[in-house]
């Protein structure tokens, strides 16, 4: 990870598909403990963070859950519908800590950051260097 005062960059990661993907490493803070994960950047996802259901359970995020009538459903571009579970948590990226709704659904194995997360930063995809950078406003 390359750091300047305002900019934080991560190398694209090979996840076994045709192209390497932009990822960002961030920490989920639960009861003053931080848990670090790599999240794939997905501008097609409009939430903040999506975590695997197993991680949601392991971190005990059901103790920070939103009421069911505030949960939503997720829809893929291919039309599949998933009922989503929402929990409220703090996340830390570099020196910035903010609240974020963490989402999951049963059967999910992906770590994603979406538009709700990215709106807090200026984003740079440096294709030639295979780097993903976040810049603070």
Partner 1 sequence: MGIIKANIDEDLRRKLWEKAFKKFGYSKGAISMAIKEAVQRWVQEDEKSDEAESERILNNNAYLKLKERLEREYNGQYVLIAKGDFIAAAKTFDEIVKIANTKVPNAKHRLIFKVTQEEKRRRGRLGWRIRRKSIAGTT
- Contacts with partner 1, residue ranges (CB under 8 A): 16-18, 31, 42-47, 50, 57, 62-70, 72-78, 80, 82, 84, 88, 90, 99, 103, 110, 112, 114
Q: Cβ 112 to partner 1, closest distance in Å?
A: 7
Give the nearest distance from C-beta 41 to partner 1 in angstroms. 10
Tokens in use for 75? Answer: 């829809």
Quote the CA–CA distance of 12 and 119 in Å, as a whole number: 20
Nearer to partner 1, 6 or 99 (CB): 99
**C-beta closer to partner 1: residue 68 or 119:** 68
Smallest gap from residue 3 Cβ to partner 1 (A): 26
DSSP state letter for 59: T
> What is the token pair recorded at 16?
């076994």
Smallest separation, CB 8 to partner 1 (Å): 23
d(CA 119, CA 4): 20
Question: Residue 26 or 100: which CB sits closer to partner 1?
Answer: 100
14, HSE (Cβ side, Cα atoms, 13 Å): 2
C-alpha span between 126 and 1 (Å, rounded): 14
């Amino acid at each position: 990870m390359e750091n300047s005062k305002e900019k934080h960059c991560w190398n694209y990661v090979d996840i076994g598909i045709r192209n390497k993907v932009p990822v960002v490493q961030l920490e989920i803070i639960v009861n003053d403990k931080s848990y670090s994960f790599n999240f794939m950047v997905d501008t097609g996802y409009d939430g903040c963070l999506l975590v695997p259901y197993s991680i949601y359970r392991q971190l005990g995020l059901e103790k920070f859950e939103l009421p069911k009538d505030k949960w939503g459903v997720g829809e893929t571009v291919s039309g599949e519908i998933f009922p989503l579970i929402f929990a409220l948590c703090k996340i830390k990226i570099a020196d910035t800590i903010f609240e974020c709704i963490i989402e999951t659904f049963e059967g999910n194995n992906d770590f994603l950051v979406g538009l709700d997360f990215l709106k807090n930063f200026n984003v740079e995809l440096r294709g030639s260097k295979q780097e993903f950078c976040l810049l603070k406003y």
